Amino acid sequence: MKFSIIITTFNRAGTIPMCMDSLINLNYPKEDYEIIIVNNNSTDNTEEVIENYISQFPETNIKYYYIPRPGQVYARQIGILAAQNDILSFTDDDGILCPDWLSEIAKVFEGNKETAAVAGKIEIKWDEEPPDWIYDYENLLGKQNYGDEIGYKIGMYMNAGNLSIKKDILIRVGGFNPEMVGDWLLGDGETGLCKRLKNNNCLIGWSPKALMQHYQIVRKKATVEEIKRRFINNGIGVPYKIYYIDKKGIKHLFLNMLAALKQGLRWNYSELKNIFRRNKKNEYFAKFRKAYYFAQIKYTFRLITNKEFRNSITKNDWLVKPENTKGVLV
C-alpha cells in the first residue's frame, strides 16, 4: 500500500522539523510513501528548511510547493492533485508521528476492503506543564481517541491532523470544506468532509496505534482567548451549514439567530454569576459557550448584509478539481 503524506504549513519553520524528522524515520519502505509540503504563503524561512531536508535526505521522496493564495483549503487542493499514490494521509506541521504510523494505518485499510478512510489517535504534547483547566478542552486542539481497539463505523469524525483517505473517494466527494481564508472563516473544514462521507455511507476505520502527538505551546494555546476563538469557529459552522450545506434559506438563518441570541444571553448571565462566585472553571465554560452562540449571530448578520461574503461562500472554488488550480501546480 502506497501513501502520499500531505502537510500544509504557514510560518512554522521552528516546529516543522519535528514533523519532518518523524516522517523521515517511519518504519515503512521509502519507495512506498512520498511527503508533500505545501507552503501557504509563509513569511518565515519555511522554504529554506524544507529545501534542506530535500538535499539531506535524497532517499526520501519529498515534494515542495508554494501557494501564495491564503487559505488552507487551497493549499490542500495542491497537495491532493500533486499526490501520486492511492492513499492520502494528512497531518499537521506541528505533528509528531510514531514510527509505525503508516504501517498501522495500512493494517486498518487492509482489515476491511470497504474502508474509505482511517482516523488515527491524536494526543496533545505540551512544551511545558499547562494550567489544569485546559485539559477539559484538549479535544479542541485536536485530541482524538476512540479507544484501544481497531474499529469501523459510518459517520466517525476524523481530525485532519491524522486522517488518511482513498484519493478517488476524497475527490469524488469534493475534498475538504474551507476554513480560514485570509481574515474570514468561511466554513467547517474537515467537519464538512466527514458529513459528506457519512451522507455517502463511507466506512471509516479507527487506528489506535497510528499515533500523532500534536505539539502545542502553552503560552499560545493554553489561553482563554485561544479556546474562545475555537468555540467561535465551531459556532460559525452552524449558520454556514444552514446556508451553504442544507440551503434552507434566510428564514432558517433568522430563526437560528434568534435561538442563538437566547442561548447567548443565558450563558452571559451564567458567566457573570460564576465571576461573582469566583468559580473560574464554570466561568470559562460559560464564556466559551456565550462566544459560540454570539458568533452565530455575527456570522449570520454578515451573510445577510455582505454580498461579497455570500459570494465567497457559494463560488465553490475550493472543490478539488484540476480547473480550480490551473496554472498553480507545477
Here the CATH number for the domain that contains residue 25 is 3.90.550.10
Do residue 15 and residue 139 come from a single domain? yes
Which pLDDT does position 149 carry in this prediction?
A: 97
Question: In 3D, which of 162, 169, 165, 188 has the Cα closest to residue 177?
Answer: 188
- Which one of 201, 222, 243 terminates a domain? 222
254 and 296 both lie in a single domain: yes
Tell me: do 176 and 32 sit in the same domain. yes
Same domain? For 89 and 194 the reply is yes
Pair 114, 230 in one domain: no
Residues 216 and 240 in one domain: no
Which pLDDT score is estimated for 173?
A: 87
Is residue 325 included in any domain, yes or no?
Answer: no
186 within domain boundaries: yes
Residue 321 belongs to a domain: no
Question: How many Cβ atoms sit within 10 Å of the Cβ of residue 262?
Answer: 10
Closest CA to 163 of 137, 126, 191: 191
Work out whether the CA dihedral 115, 180, 40, 219 comes out positive or negative. Answer: negative
Whether residue 296 lies inside any domain: the answer is yes
| The three grid cell numbers given for residue 134, joined into one nine-digit string | 485546559
Q: Are both 157 and 253 inside the same structural domain?
A: no
Domain count of the fold of the chain = 2
Res 316: pLDDT = 65
Residues of the chain with pLDDT below 70 are 178-188, 315-330
The DSSP secondary structure of 47-88, one letter per residue, reads HHHHHHHHHH-TTSEEEEEE--S--HHHHHHHHHHH--SSEE
Determine the pLDDT at residue 222.
97
- Same-domain pairing of 152 and 249: no
Domain assignment present for 150? yes
Segment 22-50, tens digit of pLDDT: 999 999 999 999 999 999 989 999 999 99
One domain, residues 218 and 230: no
Q: How many Å apart are CA 66 and CA 321, to the nearest integer?
A: 18
What is the residue range of 12's domain? 3-222
pLDDT at position 325 is: 44
Quick check: is 324 in a domain? no
Query: In this structure, are 165 and 45 located in the same domain?
Result: yes
Q: Are 217 and 276 within one domain?
A: no
pLDDT at 209: 98
**84 belongs to a structural domain:** yes
- Final residue of a structural domain among 192, 222, 252: 222
Do 177 and 289 belong together in one domain? no
Could you give the 3-state DSSP secondary structure of residue 205?
Answer: strand
Q: What is the pLDDT of residue 328?
A: 42
Residue 203 lies in a domain: yes
